[in-house]
Amino acid sequence: MTRVFAPGRVNLIGDHTDYTGGLVMPMAVDLGTTIHGARGGDVVRLTSDAATEEAEVPLRLDDPREVLPEWARYVAGVMSVMHPAEGFSGFVSTTLPVGAGLSSSAALEVAMALALGFEGAARDLALVCQKAEQQASGVPCGVMDQLASAAGVAGHALLIDCSTLEIEPVPLPADIDVVVMHSGEPRALASSEYAARRAACEAAEAIIGPLRSAGPDALAQIEDPTLQARARHVIHENARVRRFAGSLRAGDMEECGALMVESHLSLAKDFEVSTERLDQMVESLVTRPGVFGARLTGAGFGGCVVALAEPGALRDGWHVRPVDGARILEA
């Protein structure tokens, strides 16, 4: 029997920066996905406590995007990247809310790759699963979600440089609550708009070079106001991630909170991935006593906000702690 676990993630700061090799600061959370079963046969057959329909994916499959039920596409995505020699039969159980912005799909991919016998470093695991996600969903996502799930460090947020995939764990003070709240909005435009944002960043890079190394002065060379705004978000967001990491190390939670709010405003105004509901949630959260800051987290267009707060200041939402990344519980 094989039993593996992969956590979900929440991103504290640095959104829409990973796919241009920028900086992000997620953490793996104490909610995740377990797969239990045995390798063998020529299909992957899984039941799940989060879905009514079972997944049955043949080893030889064409397009993961055609697989049904939809959740099985992530399984198929992993299979089409890994080309496992044998199948798997088992059960998926998850404590993650599915499709809520805590990377339930990344957790499923990472757990699936381990269940199918992936051997290698956490970074390689993440790259396999990023490709799987792209094939399963058609969304040209970056590597942040899969890397946070694969390489989490208990008690730490991860400062990740997405150009080198270097990870610097930064301790999260023990007396800070990380709270994630769902907007209730499905991320309807997430795939088409996400691809459009990524294309805009690439168009900006064609004018001023890599956004990762560009300074704000370069922005004047971009004539198109929308492209300029997209690039402005990315350039300033990378700088905010660095400042956030420094403030977190120094235990300056007021500054961390202020940077989160700046990040949210930039995602809303310059990158245009927020919604009215997400804006209202952030506005109202930051007026609550004991809340240092809040922002939308992940791709946006609905989904979740994350807040940093004094212990007990917020009663609602998912209170999450940073945990170690994916692991094999039983080989």
Residues at the contact surface with ligand GLA, assessed by CB under 6 A = 15-16, 18-19, 141-142, 144-145, 298-299
- Identify the active-site residue in 42, 62, 63, 145: 145
Which residue spans within the chain are E strands per DSSP? 2-13, 23-39, 43-48, 55-58, 88-94, 156-161, 166-171, 177-182, 291-297, 304-309, 318-320, 327-330
Between 13 and 43, CB nearer to ligand GLA: 13
**18 catalytic per annotation:** no
Number of helices and strands in the chain (H, E): 8, 12
Nearest distance in Å: CB 209, ligand GLA: 20
User: Residue 209 and residue 205: Cα distance in Å, rounded?
Assistant: 4
Query: Do 305 and 295 touch, CB atoms closer than 8 A?
Result: yes
Nearest distance in Å: CB 174, ligand GLA: 26
User: Residue 73 and residue 84: Cα distance in Å, rounded?
Assistant: 16
Nearest distance in Å: CB 68, ligand GLA: 22
Between 43 and 235, CB nearer to ligand GLA: 235
Can you tell me whether residue 260 is helix, strand or coil? helix
CB-nearest residue to ligand GLA? 142
Between 43 and 307, CB nearer to ligand GLA: 307
Nearest distance in Å: CB 195, ligand GLA: 11
Query: Do 248 and 157 touch, CB atoms closer than 8 A?
Result: yes
Query: Residue 57 corresponds to which amino acid?
Result: V
Between 47 and 163, CB nearer to ligand GLA: 163
Between 15 and 262, CB nearer to ligand GLA: 15
Can you tell me whether residue 223 is helix, strand or coil? coil
User: Residue 31 and residue 260: Cα distance in Å, rounded?
Assistant: 23
Nearest distance in Å: CB 60, ligand GLA: 28
Torsional class of 109: left (φ above 0), alpha (ψ -120 to 50), beta (otherwise):
alpha
List active site positions. 145
